[in-house]
């Protein structure tokens, strides 16, 4: 089951206890002003989620898994490029460059 955490935590945690299958949680409001962070993911994993969906963060961060693993910053999104056709916003976000 894939849930968006748009309700208070209590009913979602109760649903986790009742649902024996895999639970995927998107911790932020879809298309809201906030992207899902590592802290959001850790919080919901601690509440019993099996997987976390990051959605938009993957668009702006082709290396999102590595950024989360190393604590590198998550790049901001450019919503002006959403669904506009062409490469801008889909394949133009660079991987994080670590300072030497």
| 25-50 per-position pLDDT tens digit | 998 876 666 788 889 999 999 999 99
pLDDT for 41? 92
pLDDT for 89? 64
Distances (CA, A) of 67 to 3, 19, 49, 57, 97: 24, 31, 21, 11, 10
User: What's the pTM value of the predicted model, to 2 decimals?
Assistant: 0.76
Distance CA 46, CA 94 (A): 31
pLDDT for 62? 84
All residue ranges of the chain with pLDDT < 70 are: 30-33, 82-83, 89-92, 98-100
Yes or no: say if 89 and 82 are a contact pair by the CB < 8 Å rule: yes
């Amino acid at each position: 089951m894939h849930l968006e955490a748009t309700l208070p935590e209590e009913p979602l945690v109760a649903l986790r206890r009742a649902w024996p299958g895999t639970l995927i949680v998107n911790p932020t409001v879809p298309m809201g002003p906030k992207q899902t962070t590592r802290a959001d993911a850790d919080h919901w994993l601690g509440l019993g989620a099996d997987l976390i969906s990051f959605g938009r963060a993957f668009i702006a961060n082709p290396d999102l898994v590595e950024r989360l693993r190393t604590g590198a910053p998550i790049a901001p999104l450019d919503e002006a490029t959403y669904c506009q056709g062409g490469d801008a916003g889909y394949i133009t976000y660079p991987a994080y460059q670590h300072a030497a």
